[in-house]
């Protein structure tokens, strides 16, 4: 089965390539790892051309990997297929990220492509239990508090992360992303000793947006004055586990995966 990876920024596209041969699709304006040389170039405004290029390459299966920003469409570049799809896409863009990604997945499925997730291709990147260090009772209480807030916000399609310290939620991830939330926490409440919780939104389509952490996540959590990170077991991908564990040990961050 021919496979293509629609690649965003970060290490995940390259890690998915290790699961087997695949075409790399690069969208105009998206920064990516130069090692992942694209063989299909695409634009958000030209879905019709992309569909044709994928079929010509024998692609039957698609995976989305890496960070993608919300596109800025140039109407003058749209092909007829994209113009016909715009009412659906524009309606989804007015909602949360998960709503938009579900519509995009449906569009590709309607064109006959099978959409798979990063977890389908690299389940070995997920984990369960203690990963580095041991969580204290205070840390697990803070993690539970952050989880409760994320669960409550789930229907609003807001974000995948939250930070709690001493029983209080001090940061919630929104459209700006985890890094921006951690910068805010570090500037507003330095040395809080809080816990970052990273997990999917309830009911999230994991094929299109699988949560990930990497060494940079650990370093930014340490810079923000946090003491621990909890991720969802068997769901959040760990990019470069060895480097993540080294960063945890160097910074004193406890990292664990909970249901």
Q: Residue-wise over 68-84: b if at least 16 C-beta within 10 A, else e?
A: beebebeeeebbebbee
CA 252 to chain centroid: 25
pLDDT for the residue numbered 157: 85
What pLDDT, in 10s, does the model give residues 9-52? 889 999 999 999 999 999 887 765 555 567 898 998 999 999 99
What pLDDT, in 10s, does the model give residues 79-126? 999 999 999 988 887 787 888 889 999 999 999 999 999 999 999 999
Domain residues of the chain, as ranges? 2-121, 126-258
The CA-atom distances, in angstroms, between 151 and each of 128, 154, 155, 204 are 20, 5, 8, 11
Please identify, in words, the CATH class of the domain defined by 126-258. Answer: alpha beta
What pLDDT, in 10s, does the model give residues 196-237? 999 999 888 899 889 999 999 999 999 999 999 999 999 999
Fold of 2-121: Rossmann fold (3.40.50)
pLDDT for the residue numbered 27: 85
């Amino acid at each position: 089965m021919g496979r293509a990876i629609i690649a965003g920024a970060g290490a995940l596209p390259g890690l998915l390539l290790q699961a087997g041969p695949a075409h790399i699709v690069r969208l105009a304006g998206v920064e990516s790892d130069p090692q992942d040389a694209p063989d299909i170039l695409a634009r958000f405004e030209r879905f019709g051309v992309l569909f044709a290029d994928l079929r010509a390459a024998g692609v039957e299966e698609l995976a989305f990997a890496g960070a993608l920003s919300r596109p800025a469409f140039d109407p003058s570049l749209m092909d007829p297929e994209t113009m016909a799809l715009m009412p659906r896409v524009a309606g989804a863009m007015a909602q949360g990220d998960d709503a938009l990604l579900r519509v995009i997945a449906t569009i590709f499925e309607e064109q006959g492509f099978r959409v798979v997730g990063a977890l389908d291709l690299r389940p070995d990147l997920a984990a369960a239990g203690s990963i580095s260090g041991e969580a204290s009772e205070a840390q697990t209480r803070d993690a539970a508090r952050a989880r409760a807030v994320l669960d409550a916000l789930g229907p609003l399609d807001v974000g995948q992360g939250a930070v709690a310290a001493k029983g209080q939620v001090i940061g919630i991830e929104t459209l700006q992303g985890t890094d921006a939330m951690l910068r805010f926490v570090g500037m507003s409440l330095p040395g809080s000793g809080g816990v970052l919780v990273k997990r999917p939104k309830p009911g999230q389509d994991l094929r299109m947006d699988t949560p990930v952490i990497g060494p940079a996540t650990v370093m930014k959590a340490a810079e923000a004055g946090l003491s621990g990170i909890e991720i969802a077991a068997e769901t959040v991908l760990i990019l470069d586990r060895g480097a993540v564990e080294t960063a945890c040990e160097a910074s004193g961050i406890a990292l664990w995966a909970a249901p």
